[in-house]
Amino acid sequence: MKPYDIDSFSSECTDDFVKRIASDLRTQYQNTLCKKQLFPWEPGCFVELDDIYIHLTIDIQIPKPCKPIKQKLSSYDEIFKPKEQTMRYVLEGRPGLGKTTLCAKIAHDWSTGKSALGHIKLLFVLQLGQINHDTNIEDAIKNQLLRSLEVGGTQKLRKAIQTLGSSVIIILDSLDEADPVLFEHKEYGSLLGAINYSEFTTNRILVTTRPWRLSDITQITSCSYTRLELQGFSRADIVAYVNKFFSHVPTDVSSIALGQRLVQYIQANKLLVDASVPILILQICWYWQKSGGKEDIPQRWSHLYDNIFNMMYDNLSSDLKRRVSKVMIALLM
Ligand SMILES: Nc1ncnc2c1ncn2[C@@H]1O[C@H](COP(=O)(O)OP(=O)(O)OP(=O)(O)O)[C@@H](O)[C@H]1O
Ligand SMILES: [Mg+2]
């Protein structure tokens, strides 16, 4: 990426500037978010996001005087339908349910032109855990996504974002990981101001969070926002996930057969059918693959976890094993 020469742009938001930012964002997403580290506990194994991604169900809450009605969205694109009046969206989901992966998928599809978000000029995905409470959004964009933006270019970026209005989506992932100081300030900084409609009023902003942080959102914003709830994998999704995990190009019959045996196992076992959280299914697939399908999957979650963690520990490098042992000893003392 070439550095931006802000002097060559007028103070107005120019098409060239926006096109260049969009192009750099696309490159950035294709090099980062579009590649998925398959096993969070095993560094180094990256796959294309679409090689593992399974569509997740999102429920939208429609407020009613008595109690809200929940409706399923057929796709995440529907969140940002132009006719939708509200510009703030909060997506809640339990740990490991796929919030961050969904953000990556939205960025992936936008950057590869695969989604219905073709009308969106700029799409930013920011990790709230990496933003200080006193950092504003444009600086966070520079730090996390557009490092080659010249100092001072952030002002121009801010103007461009504001001028483009609803054709800009800003995704703030993991409010639960945000600096807690953020919630202690009475007068909102730029970040909270954005959530609270005092800044970036006309842009679309999606915040993701684990459920426990939801009450803080209601405290900081008195404005209406669209509430969305991420649902886990359905039974059909679990089967699709396992098949995708074990599918192999060029075709590897033994890997596919291994996957099919796991599917049979899951279908025969009521306990595992409840395993709707993607990260749990990922762990089961990993465990099954490592053991070559030889080990039985225990009927109880606690036993299953014992086995998975033992296997994870066995797979650690000797250096990591030493570090884990030190932590365990410190915890027990
Ligand atoms: N839609 C999906 N398709 C395939 N795999 C998924 C999907 N969603 C999540 N996963 C798997 O589950 C793992 C955990 O998902 P992710 O990190 O997105 O959850 P999260 O909701 O952001 O969790 P946290 O609350 O801890 O931030 C991912 O690393 C990925 O392997
Ligand atoms: Mg996350």
**β-strand partners of 73:** 58
| Nearest alpha carbon, ligand 1 atom 25 | 95
- Does residue 317 fall inside a structural domain? yes
Range of the domain at 47: 6-230
CB of 233 sitting under 6 A from ligand 1: no
Q: How many domains does the chain have?
A: 2
**CA distance from start to end of the chain:** 51
In the predicted model, is pLDDT for residue 1 greater than 80?
A: no
- Does residue 242 fall inside a structural domain? yes
- Residue whose pair of structure tokens reads 């694109």 in the numeric block: 77
52 plus 146 within the same structural domain: yes
The ligand with the least distance to the CA atom of 40 is: 1
252 plus 152 within the same structural domain: no
Ramachandran angles phi, psi of 98, nearest 5°: 120, 20
Last residue of one domain, picked from the residues 230, 249, 279: 230
pLDDT at position 124: 98
The arithmetic mean of pLDDT across residues 162-186, rounded, is: 87
In the predicted model, is pLDDT for residue 161 greater than 70?
A: yes
50 plus 99 within the same structural domain: yes
User: Does this model's pTM top 0.85?
Assistant: yes
Alpha-helix runs per DSSP H in 3-81: 15-31
- Does residue 250 fall inside a structural domain? yes
pLDDT digits (tens, 9 = 90+) for 122-155: 999 999 999 887 788 999 999 999 998 887 789 9
Cα 257 to averaged position of ligand 2 atoms, centre (Å): 32
> Which is the closest atom of ligand 1 to the Cα of 37?
29
pLDDT at position 252: 79
> Which is the closest atom of ligand 1 to the Cα of 279?
12
Q: What percent of the chain has pLDDT over 90?
A: 41
43 plus 12 within the same structural domain: yes
Last residue of one domain, picked from the residues 212, 230, 248: 230
| Nearest alpha carbon, ligand 1 atom 9 | 98
35 plus 107 within the same structural domain: yes
Helices 15-31 and 99-111, axial angle in degrees (round to 10)? 130
Cα 153 to averaged position of ligand 1 atoms, centre (Å): 34
> Which is the closest atom of ligand 1 to the Cα of 55?
1
Please tell me the least confidently modeled range out of 113-127, 182-196, 262-276, 277-291: 182-196
CB of 21 sitting under 6 A from ligand 1: no
- Does residue 36 fall inside a structural domain? yes
* Beta-carbon count within 10 A of 294 CB: 7
The arithmetic mean of pLDDT across residues 239-251, rounded, is: 86
70 plus 207 within the same structural domain: yes
| Nearest alpha carbon, ligand 1 atom 30 | 279
| Nearest alpha carbon, ligand 1 atom 1 | 54
Of 104-113, 217-226, 227-236, highest mean pLDDT:
104-113
61 plus 121 within the same structural domain: yes
pLDDT at position 7: 45
Last residue of one domain, picked from the residues 174, 200, 230: 230
pLDDT digits (tens, 9 = 90+) for 49-86: 999 999 999 999 887 888 888 999 988 989 988 666 68
pLDDT digits (tens, 9 = 90+) for 190-205: 777 888 888 899 999 9
155 plus 259 within the same structural domain: no
40 plus 65 within the same structural domain: yes
pLDDT at position 133: 77
Cα 74 to averaged position of ligand 1 atoms, centre (Å): 19
CB of 94 sitting under 6 A from ligand 1: no
Between β-strands 69-73 and 204-209, what pairing exists: parallel, antiparallel or unpaired? unpaired
Q: Which of 38, 54, 100, 214 for mutating ligand 1's site (highest number of atoms within 8 Å of CB)?
A: 100
CB of 13 sitting under 6 A from ligand 1: no
pLDDT at position 8: 46
CB of 275 sitting under 6 A from ligand 1: no
197 plus 254 within the same structural domain: no
Q: How confident is the model at residue 100 (pLDDT cuts 50, 70, 90)?
A: very high
209 plus 251 within the same structural domain: no
- Does residue 97 fall inside a structural domain? yes
pLDDT at position 5: 47
- Does residue 126 fall inside a structural domain? yes
- Residue whose pair of structure tokens reads 């557009």 in the numeric block: 146
Residue 71 and residue 62 in contact, taking contact as beta carbons nearer than 8 Å: yes
Q: How confident is the model at residue 185 (pLDDT cuts 50, 70, 90)?
A: low
- Does residue 1 fall inside a structural domain? no
Ramachandran angles phi, psi of 252, nearest 5°: -115, 100
183 plus 312 within the same structural domain: no
The ligand with the least distance to the CA atom of 95 is: 1
- Does residue 152 fall inside a structural domain? yes
The ligand with the least distance to the CA atom of 212 is: 1
Nearest residue to 123 (alpha-carbon basis) of 113, 132, 133, 131: 113
Radius of gyration of the chain (CA): 22
The mean of the pLDDT values for the chain is 85
Q: Does 318 or 110 have the greater pLDDT score?
A: 110
